[in-house]
């Protein structure tokens, strides 16, 4: 049987890091088994679903390069199918109309909570042999409930967590269609996973409690239609924020696109996410192709993982070092533009990037660090006070003299500095540091002769002149 997995987000917000990992693992599982990965948009909550969110999810998937073989399917476009299935369930007696009003249900729930009981539907409208149902109220549009078995247990072998067993007595009759006729999540999932031939449902941990209900519905459906099969389930634990707290909109949950804005490479985010809750021995850095070959559900940790920006930074730094300069040039040009800095031909951007790409963690850092090549630096006061001392100015003046007449190459610049250093009986940094401050604005930079070579003679002399005054 061909493996078919799916990622099924609800379009009520952006694609966040947890969703991205779920998608990644589903994707990898399908790739590993030469199967298909399907994208399904679960938009039955009409009030909260938005086209913007759909787009945001699509953008996130695209940025990460998580390509899908089928879809996106939209549940709202499958209404006829859901209604058809509901009708068969109604006909078969595995679903029934419930006329309890929302107010009535709310009151019931409140009372149960007050009594320290698990809130659940009381089965008022559940048909039972020999039971007399209340009179149907005329002013209430009924919802439709699934008639969940009351005895026995639901058991499944979770591919991540192992055997899970939940008693039917813990479950109540869930609503599968609202009063307005729209079907609800748990029901649509069941129909879709079945219709789409999903073999492994890989999803977040928060769905564990939905699973027995879904299995029960699938079994009820299977009794009507022999083609219906129960998929396997794999529940992924959640990703916690760096403080160990649950990620929420208020609390650290950001769109994967934010990582793009913040200067992370998609391959770095992917590699980081792959290692969060999954492992392949001691391997830390690997390509997505490698990941797809290695991926298995057996090596997924069942416990929650805490997000760690330092490690993401380290991985990102690695991928920046590996990155192709043509790509970096295009990317950094855009990032500099956002800082209102136009890249000119003069210091060649690719050369500038070569000077810096091994020293930084993010693309934003890279852009910020090289900004001084394309605009006058702002001189850091602390650095200036420390290094631009009065006694060094004659030395710099003397250096300027010799710089004026040399061929503008790093080695010759280095030689010129060395000569001045010798002449004044100083140490190299004594001259290099003030130069750094005058040319870059700060006290840290790559080797100063290389910086000067790239900056160009005119610009170097102009900056020194301006800083000397």
Partner RNA sequence: GUCCCCAUCGUCUAGAGGCCUAGGACACCUCCCUUUCACGGAGGCGACCCGGGUUCGAAUCCCGGUGGGGACGCCA
Contacts of RNA in 308-367 (CB under 7 A): 308, 310-311, 313-314, 317, 321, 358-360
Choose which of 443, 456, 457, 461 interacts with RNA (CB under 7 A): 443
Query: How many helices and strands, by DSSP H and E, does the chain display?
Result: 19, 12
Q: How far is the CB of 97 from RNA (least distance, A)?
A: 10
Choose which of 42, 260, 267, 331 interacts with RNA (CB under 7 A): 42
Choose which of 16, 33, 147, 275 interacts with RNA (CB under 7 A): 275
x/- map, 126-165, RNA, by CB under 7 A: --------------x--x-----------------xx-xx
* φ and ψ of 377, to 5 deg: -75, 155
* 118 vs 131, beta carbon nearer RNA: 118
- In the chain, what is the greatest distance between 2 CA atoms, to the nearest angstrom? 110
Contacts of RNA in 371-390 (CB under 7 A): none
Q: Is 210 helix (H, G, I), strand (E, B) or coil?
A: helix
Binding flag, residue 21, RNA (CB under 7 A): no
Binding flag, residue 444, RNA (CB under 7 A): yes
Phi-psi sector, 236: left (phi>0), alpha (psi -120 to 50), beta: beta
Please state, in angstroms and as integers, the Cα–Cα distance from residue 86 to each residue in 61, 99, 183, 218, following that order.
Answer: 32, 17, 9, 12
- Bridge partners of 335, per DSSP, are none
* 10 vs 194, beta carbon nearer RNA: 10
CA atoms within 13 A on the CB side of 394: 4
Binding flag, residue 118, RNA (CB under 7 A): yes
Nearest-CA neighbor of 451 among 402, 422, 414?
414
Piece of 58-66, 255-263, 327-335, 441-449 that binds RNA (CB under 7 A)? 441-449
Binding flag, residue 119, RNA (CB under 7 A): yes
Binding flag, residue 102, RNA (CB under 7 A): yes
Binding flag, residue 429, RNA (CB under 7 A): yes
Q: How far is the CB of 342 from RNA (least distance, A)?
A: 26
End-to-end CA distance of the chain: 78
Choose which of 50, 88, 210, 290 interacts with RNA (CB under 7 A): 210
* 273 vs 341, beta carbon nearer RNA: 273
* 8 vs 228, beta carbon nearer RNA: 8
Piece of 25-33, 54-62, 118-126, 393-401 that binds RNA (CB under 7 A)? 118-126
Q: How many residues bind RNA (CB under 7 A)?
A: 86
List, in order, residues 6 or more apart from 94 with CB less than 8 Å away. Answer: 146, 147, 220, 221, 223, 224
Q: How far is CA 203 from the centre of its chain?
A: 15
Q: How far is the CB of 8 from RNA (least distance, A)?
A: 7
Binding flag, residue 295, RNA (CB under 7 A): no
Choose which of 85, 190, 270, 276 interacts with RNA (CB under 7 A): 276
Choose which of 53, 217, 228, 448 interacts with RNA (CB under 7 A): 448
Q: Is 277 helix (H, G, I), strand (E, B) or coil?
A: coil
329-338, Cβ contacts within 8 angstroms, sequence gap of 24 or more: 329/353, 331/363, 332/363, 332/366, 332/367, 332/370, 335/263, 335/363, 335/364, 335/366, 335/367, 336/367, 336/370, 336/371, 336/374
Binding flag, residue 167, RNA (CB under 7 A): yes
Piece of 58-66, 217-225, 307-315, 344-352 that binds RNA (CB under 7 A)? 307-315
Token pair, residue 453, equals 């070579």
Q: Is 407 helix (H, G, I), strand (E, B) or coil?
A: coil
Torsion of CA 81, 82, 84, 88, to 10 degrees: 140
Element (H, E) at 245: none
Piece of 66-74, 109-117, 259-267, 457-465 that binds RNA (CB under 7 A)? 109-117
Residue 248 buriedness (CB in 10 A; 0-12 / 13-18 / 19+)? exposed
Choose which of 58, 90, 92, 179 interacts with RNA (CB under 7 A): 179
Q: How far is the CB of 12 from RNA (least distance, A)?
A: 7
Contacts of RNA in 227-266 (CB under 7 A): 237-238, 240, 244-246
* 27 vs 278, beta carbon nearer RNA: 278
348 vs 363: CA distance, rounded Å: 17
* 167 vs 223, beta carbon nearer RNA: 167
* 73 vs 121, beta carbon nearer RNA: 121
Choose which of 26, 36, 148, 186 interacts with RNA (CB under 7 A): 186
Binding flag, residue 51, RNA (CB under 7 A): no
Binding flag, residue 284, RNA (CB under 7 A): yes
- Bridge partners of 200, per DSSP, are 232
392 vs 386: CA distance, rounded Å: 11
Binding flag, residue 195, RNA (CB under 7 A): no
């Amino acid at each position: 049987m061909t493996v078919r997995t799916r990622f099924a987000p609800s379009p009520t917000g952006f694609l966040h890091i947890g969703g991205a990992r779920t998608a990644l693992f589903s994707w990898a599982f399908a790739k590993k088994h030469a199967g298909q990965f399907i994208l399904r948009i679960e938009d039955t909550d009409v009030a909260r679903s938005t086209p913007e969110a759909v787009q945001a999810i699509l953008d996130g998937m695209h940025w990460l390069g998580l390509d899908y073989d089928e879809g996106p399917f939209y549940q709202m476009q499958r209404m006829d199918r859901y209604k058809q299935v509901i009708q068969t369930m109604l006909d078969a007696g595995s679903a029934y109309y419930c006329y309890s009003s929302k107010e009535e249900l709310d009151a019931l729930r409140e009372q149960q909570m007050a009594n320290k009981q698990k809130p659940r539907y009381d089965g008022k409208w559940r048909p039972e042999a020999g039971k007399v149902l209340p009179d149907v109220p005329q002013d209430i549009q009924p919802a439709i409930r699934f008639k969940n078995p009351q005895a026995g247990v639901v058991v499944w072998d979770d591919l991540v967590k192992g055997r899970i067993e939940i008693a039917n007595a813990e479950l109540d009759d869930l609503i599968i269609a609202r009063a307005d006729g729209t079907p609800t999540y748990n029901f649509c999932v069941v129909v879709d996973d079945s219709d789409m031939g999903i073999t492994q449902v890989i999803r977040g941990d928060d769905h564990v409690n939905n699973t027995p209900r879904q299995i029960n519905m699938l079994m009820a459906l299977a009794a009507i239609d022999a083609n219906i099969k129960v998929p396997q389930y794999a529940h992924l634990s959640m990703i916690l924020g760096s403080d160990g707290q649950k990620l929420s909109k208020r609390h650290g949950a950001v769109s994967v696109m934010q990582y793009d804005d913040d200067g992370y490479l998609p391959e770095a985010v992917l590699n980081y996410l792959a290692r969060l809750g999954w492992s392949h021995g001691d391997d830390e850095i690997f390509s997505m192709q490698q990941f797809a070959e290695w991926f298995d559900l057996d090596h997924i940790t069942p416990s929650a993982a805490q997000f760690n920006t330092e490690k993401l930074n380290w991985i990102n730094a690695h991928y920046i070092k590996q990155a192709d300069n043509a790509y970096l040039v295009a990317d950094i040009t855009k990032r500099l533009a956002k800082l209102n800095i136009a890249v000119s031909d003069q210091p060649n951007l690719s050369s500038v990037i070569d000077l810096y790409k091994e020293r930084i963690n993010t693309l934003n850092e890279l852009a910020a660090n090289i900004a001084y090549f394309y605009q006058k630096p702002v001189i850091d006061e602390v650095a200036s006070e420390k290094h631009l001392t009065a006694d060094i100015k004659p030395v710099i003046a003397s250096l300027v003299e010799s710089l004026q007449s040399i061929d503008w190459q790093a080695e010759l610049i280095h030689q010129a500095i060395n000569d001045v250093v010798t002449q004044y009986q100083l140490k190299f940094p004594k001259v290099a540091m003030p130069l750094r401050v005058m040319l870059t604005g700060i006290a840290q930079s790559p080797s100063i002769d290389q910086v000067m070579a790239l900056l160009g003679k005119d610009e170097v002399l102009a900056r020194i002149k301006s800083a000397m005054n």
